[in-house]
Amino acid sequence: MHLQVSCMQLHGVLRSLTFHETESVLMIEFGIGILAGVLLTGVVAWLVLPGMMLEIRESPYDTVEETCDRLADTIEDKGWSNQAVRDMNASMAKRGVEMDRPVRVVELCNANHAKAVLNASPEVSTMMPCAWGVYEGEDGNVYVSGMNMGLMGQMFGGTIAEVMGGTVAEDEEEMLDEALSRKANARSTHSLHEPDASRGAPQGDGAMSDASTDLDAADDASHTAR
């Protein structure tokens, strides 16, 4: 009788241990699953986000210069300011560096939007003004690249999300849609042959005048001062 009770007690203890061991294993597996999910999400974000942050469009125009001209005209027409078209090839050539393909940076700014953002978060001035890259790809076609303002704005939140992720993103998309539409060919092409005084006359290499000239002068002055 005592032996039978002892066997039953031992069986109960073993069942209890098995239950707790099973529970522990399940908890460990659950924890590993969560950790694996977090790591997988991080890897996917690491691989995907860089591509999501940039938006690239193919230009319908044959040259970088014509694409820049169309963009600059559209920026001004939409009430924004085309502050500069920077000739990266010319700027780097002055320092003995030759680029394989033409690259320009088209700057654009809206004073009201800039004021709203800078009043709320002056630290983001490092990302201003807005800009589009215009370059010739390896396939010989011309492309326009820009930051995904909607995504970037949402990452910051607050006023930046409201202005940059909202109004600015919408304005930029509208300007790009119009500037890179073939319908733009129907517009006057005077700017291709008669440069806007606000943007200056063409330089020696045929590129549009830009504020990089001022930057070069400032750099030269700083080197001289040293």
Interval 171-223: pLDDT, tens: 999 999 999 986 555 443 434 434 444 444 334 343 344 444 444 444 444 44
Nearest to 106 by CA among 128, 124, 130, 74: 130
| Per-residue pLDDT at 11 | 57
Q: How many percent of the chain have pLDDT more than 70?
A: 61
Mean pLDDT of 65-76: 97
Choose among 199, 214, 203: nearest CA to 68: 199
Same domain, yes or no: 125 and 207: yes
Strands (E), the chain: 54-58, 81-87, 103-109, 130-136, 142-147
Least confident of 12-16, 35-39, 57-61: 12-16
Residues 101-125 pLDDT 10s: 999 999 999 999 999 999 999 999 9
User: Three-state SS for 104?
Assistant: strand
Look-up: residue for tokens 């991080």? 42
Q: Are residues 209 and 149 in the same domain?
A: yes
d(CA 199, CA 209): 6
Whether pLDDT at 138 is above 70? yes
Regarding whether 157 and 107 lie in a shared domain, the answer is yes
* Domain limit, last residue, from 9, 31, 53: 53
- So what's the pLDDT on residue 215? 42
DSSP 182: G
pLDDT of residue 153: 84
Pair 81, 12 in one domain? no
Residues 134 and 172 in one domain: yes
84 & 141 share domain? yes
Model confidence pLDDT, tens digit, residues 154-175: 888 899 999 998 999 999 999 9
Residue 147 pLDDT exceeds 70: yes
Which range of residues forms the domain containing residue 49?
A: 1-53
The mean pLDDT value for 83-103 works out to: 96
**Residue 46 or 23, more confident:** 23
Residue 4, pLDDT score: 52
Task: Please indicate, yes or no, whether residues 115 and 198 belong to a single structural domain of this protein.
Answer: yes
Query: Residues 24, 71: one domain?
Result: no
